[in-house]
Amino acid sequence: PLRPVVQRMTDIGHLHPYRDQSRPTWSVRRLEKAIRGGLGSGLVEHLRATRRPLLTTYFVPAIAADLAEHDEVHLVVTDSDIHRVWVPRNPRASRIRYYTPSTRARRRLEAYGVAPERVSMTGFPLPPRLLGPDLGTLKRNLAARIVRLDPRAAFRGTFDAELHAFLGPLPTREELEPPHLVYAVGGAGAQADLPARFLPGLAEPIRQGRWKLTLVAGIRPEVRDTLAAAARATGLEEHVDILWRKDLPAYFTAFDELMVGTDILWTKPSELTFFGALGIALVLGAPVGSHEHANRRWAREHGAALKQRDPRFAHHWLEEWLDDGVLAAAAWSGYLRLPKFGLERIHDHVQPDPTRSLQDAS
């Protein structure tokens, strides 16, 4: 029953026509009141004592530090479009420097009144281990992925020269390997019930070795149990991997390792949308919140994502996309069109310690 209320509170208004959108909303005023009432005071005291810069991916610490007149506040935007609450009540007096993953987010911040010189379009900070020096790791993974996603050479046959120019000779031995589909639920366990709907149709192709499937549960044991029950109900407990770890650091490491061999990432359009820049074909499910609607639209407009169809018939539309080279095209578009150097660019702007390398900082 509260969903419409939450949706209205978090709704992102239309960007067009371009206009001044700097007027503070109820959420902006409410957040400032909470901060002046003590929210974030421990962080503020720490910053005053250490005089260190603040780098954050969440707006509340940044605005708390800004209201305390901290000199160096860096805020990494993690969606392709954002709500007015990301900007303080008086944006022109703010010290916050923003780093955005998309040009739309940059335009939105300027519409909210942030000075253009305090906004940098950097791209999303992707894990450096998935990029490699000169994108060498990314290109090797992508070359193998394109082959697995294009078993009939529908895409490769048309774009052979372009693929060779960017990636070199493709490893045709990968034609013998099944495509690897990864289904990742949201961090709060959103849409954990979906595998129970698509696994019955995919069960036989998985048993025959035509597909490889991993279900990602994050760190929530109840989500792991839900996914395991869905696999067990379709007799796939021995054929489907489930990624679950007890804590976030271990999970992030395992997830990055999983992405090396992932061909299709099926998820809701959260921050994982930006992983399409690695050349992973995205299948995006139902958004949760206005920012995820924006993420899905952004990825689809760049050709990197496909909208989830009826999960009951996933085996049909996924295999159709394989045969037609559609998934390979999405992976290729993500590599070409989505920004990949966010971490390096943010590091160059922030430079907390010029003597440390990017690898050390990450």
Model confidence pLDDT, tens digit, residues 97-120: 999 999 999 999 999 999 999 999
- The stretch 153-161 carries a mean pLDDT of 96
pLDDT band (50, 70, 90) for residue 10: confident
**pTM for the whole structure:** 0.93
Query: Is 362 a residue whose pLDDT tops 90?
Result: no
Cα 192 to chain centroid distance, Å, stands at 18
Average pLDDT for the chain: 94
C-alpha to C-alpha distance for 278 and 267, rounded to whole angstroms: 15
The band of 72, judged by pLDDT with boundaries at 50, 70 and 90, is very high
The two three-digit tokens of residue 277, written as one number: 């820049």
**Does residue 310 have a pLDDT over 80?**
yes
pLDDT above 80 for 219: yes
pLDDT tens readout for residues 114-129 = 999 999 999 999 999 9
Q: What is the pLDDT of residue 221?
A: 95
